[in-house]
Amino acid sequence: MRFVSMKSVAASMMAAALVLAAPGIGTAGSLSGSEGAKRFPPPLAMNPKDQCRIAYNAYVAAGGHSAYATTFYTRVRDLYVVCGKALNAPSQKAAEDLAMRNCQGGLKKWRLNTASGGCSIAASK
């Protein structure tokens, strides 16, 4: 009789330990779904088909080191927002460098000048 009660106590303790450890297991290996460290709120259009909205959603969904760079939006002077992303880079620094290059490449491609001074990293993880 004593053996049965010790077995149930041990099973209860193991179940409690598993419940407490489970939330840390899923989040330890992946950054997927995380917005990371936001430096400023990125200007995102309400249209779900907007290219910068799609790029930001891809950044949030990425599981590795990623970054999202964008221009600031000045409503009075700038009528556009240019953005760049880098997904699943080897490190956070590499992702930030690539996202900045992508954003600055968009400014050069379309020959745009911004009142805010160019691209900046909005969020990275």
Task: Write phi, then psi, for 18 (nearest 5 degrees).
Answer: -65, -40
Higher pLDDT, 33 or 76: 33
The whole-number pLDDT of residue 12 equals: 60
Using an 8 Å Cβ cutoff, are 83 and 42 in contact?
yes
The whole-number pLDDT of residue 104 equals: 95
Q: Is the pLDDT of residue 21 over 50?
A: no
Mean pLDDT of 49-78: 90
The whole-number pLDDT of residue 30 equals: 80
Q: ∠ CA(13), CA(30), CA(70), 5° rounding?
A: 145
- Rounded distance, CA 120 to CA 116, Å? 10
Mean pLDDT of 78-91: 91
Greatest mean pLDDT range, 12-16, 24-28, 102-106, 109-113: 102-106
The whole-number pLDDT of residue 15 equals: 56
Strand order in the sheet with 119-124: 37-38, 119-124, 65-71, 83-89
The whole-number pLDDT of residue 19 equals: 46
Q: Which residues contact 76 (CB under 8 A, 6 or more apart)?
A: 115
Three-state DSSP state, 123: strand
Using an 8 Å Cβ cutoff, are 107 and 82 in contact?
yes
The whole-number pLDDT of residue 8 equals: 61
